[in-house]
Chains A and B, each alone.
Chain A
Amino acid sequence: MDTKNPTYSEALERYARKIAEASTEDMVLNMGPQHPSTHGVLRLELITDGEIVKEVIPHIGYLHRCFEKHAESLTYQQTIPFTDRMDYLASMNNSHIWSMGVERMLGIAQDIPKRIEYIRVLVSELNRIGSHLIAIGTYGIDIGAFTPFLWCFRDREHIMGMLEWVSGSRMLYNYIWIGGLFYDLPVGFEERCRDFVNYFKPKLAELNQLLTDNQIFISRTANVGILPMDVAINYGCSGPMLRGSGLKWDLRRIDGYSVYPELDFEIPIGKGEMGAVGDCWDRYKVRVDEIEQSLKIVEQCLDRLQKELKRTPDFDPRAKLPRKITPKPQDYYVRGEGAKGELGFYFIADPDGRSEIPFRVKSRGPSFSNLSALPAMAKGVMIADLIAIVGSIDFVLGEVDR
């Protein structure tokens, strides 16, 4: 940046000096942006002393798509496809939270029919399972276990197929709309979903045998990358990462949004079974346990959707769609539990209250804050352990860079 004020370029010069000094004393190693175990286009600049990582400097922004800038020129409804592209492994969760925030600003959150809310939770939880399956599968491959990756993708394919049947698209659904849904569930979805749950439960047990209790896997992950709870909180970590550090903090329970208060599920936390609390194995285990809990939620949703909230011929998921989405002038921060942690949107509605376009939107991606704890976790570890730590964070660069 060609500014004349030296205060603004001082940090950049300090950084350049640090790298220049490190390249004579130690070794500067670039990991990424095309490194397969950085899970996307993340570049980590490592200052290493032999095998020991002295410092990690993450460079992000390779996947920046100006989400916030786009949101300032599109209406609330038109921005939903862009929210899908934030955490593209759990698109349903993103659009669910976005819609929830706008509905609360409009004051129509109470009018959403129960069936719509249950469908939203159902598809969000299916998507969460899919996201965690990727986390587990790719984590295995980072550590050197190839089979779990194939198994996870095989099972995730069933979820993809079901959600494609629901929304017409495989990954970026644009299914949850403000005040309703794109369409009702297709006829026969509930049965197919139940078949999947029954098919998947034994597969999950198999996966546990293969990876969770695998001695090689435990040796690579237990006592590695320990993140104490207070550090995790201070860095703004959330989701499985914070729960892996032993804190029972799940916004589905804390805020009790949507129909989660009516559902019965537990919040798994890291207990340090294989090593210290908050190590890589704990974070991994929290995800495995969360899949089980999500399956429980899916089953309860299916029960409701097949019994008291059965589909009726005159049920129209678009009936409550607001004609004009013009919230009163206000600002509102909505938060919810995405697949990776606390996903938040901060809206500032149009100050005149007439426009359908928000004045400003800020998105708080959970992966962004989770990744910012990496330099603290990776100080003084071996390079091979760094791979294990990066994989256990389970970030999605689409959400880090937005």
Chain B
Amino acid sequence: MSLEEIKLLLTDKFGENVVIGEETTGLQPALVIDPDYIADVCLELRNNPKTYFDFLSCLSGVDYGIEAGRFGVVYHLASIPYQTQLTLKISKTNNRDLEELPSFPSISSVYHAADWHEREAYDMLGIFFEGHPDLRRILLPDDWDGFPLRKDYKTAEYYKGIKID
């Protein structure tokens, strides 16, 4: 299915607002989805016999920079029966307050593969996923301060009172 057809399929099902935009300039076209719908969209794309995007290749959290003030998640889906690929993007503005992390719906109930990838995005970028069953840090220790892949991250000078050289 082409990107246009997928877009039509989604707007028919969830209304006009679900697809916010399209990115067709690069090598891989992408659909920009309303963050609130992402779990429903993934479920529909996985189950619909016309698309069958049953494989989550990659889930990447992105910090779009201090000026942009946006955080996003990029989903790379693949369909095994049709051998196609699809990129979905969601993003939200955020003021980088550590008490108010950017928050998106979790898709780990649709793809189990998203479980660890979402934990990694939380760990590295401080993106919160609502409805995730076990959103703990995964690569860094549980008591780590801050989110290292954020663009404003400052390397810590002390770790538990020990000076880092």
Contact = CB atoms under 8 A, between A and B. Distances in A.
B25 to A, nearest CB: 7
Nearest to A59: B138
A182 interface: no
Of the listed residues B101, B136, B145, the one surrounded by the most CB atoms of chain A closer than 10 A to its CB is B136
A8 B112 contact: no
Contact of B25 (A7, A330, A333): A330
A105 B27 contact: yes
A331 B28 contact: yes
B135 A11 contact: yes
Given A1-B145, A331-B26, A362 B116 contact: no
A159 to B, nearest CB: 29
B3 interface: no
Of the listed residues A254, A359, A362, A402, the one surrounded by the most CB atoms of chain B closer than 10 A to its CB is A362
Contacts of A249: 80
Nearest to B83: A254
Interface string B112-150: 110111000000100010001011111111111100110
A69 interface: yes
**For this complex, into which size category does the number of interface residues on chain B fall?**
35 or more
Contacts of A12: 136, 142
A401 interface: yes
Given A233-B55, A360-B62, A15 B111 contact: no
A316 B159 CA distance: 49
B139 A369 contact: no
Interface stretch (A115-123, A169-177, A201-209, A341-349): A341-349
B63 A369 contact: no
A2 B146 CA distance: 10
Contacts of A11: 132, 134-136
Contacts of A402: 139
A218 B141 CA distance: 39
B99 to A, nearest CB: 5
Contact of B139 (A64, A233, A234, A372): A64
Interface string B44-61: 000000000011111011
A247 interface: yes
Interface of A: 1-5, 7-8, 11-12, 14-15, 60-61, 64, 66, 68-69, 72, 104-105, 231, 233-236, 247, 249, 254, 330-333, 335, 342, 344, 346, 348, 351, 359-360, 362, 364, 368-369, 372-373, 376, 401-402
16 contacts: A1-B143, A5-B101, A8-B101, A61-B138, A69-B149, A105-B27, A235-B113, A236-B112, A247-B80, A249-B80, A331-B30, A333-B76, A344-B58, A346-B60, A364-B58, A369-B117
Given A60-B138, A66-B148, A362-B61, 9 more contacts: A8-B101, A8-B128, A11-B135, A249-B80, A331-B26, A342-B57, A359-B65, A368-B116, A401-B139
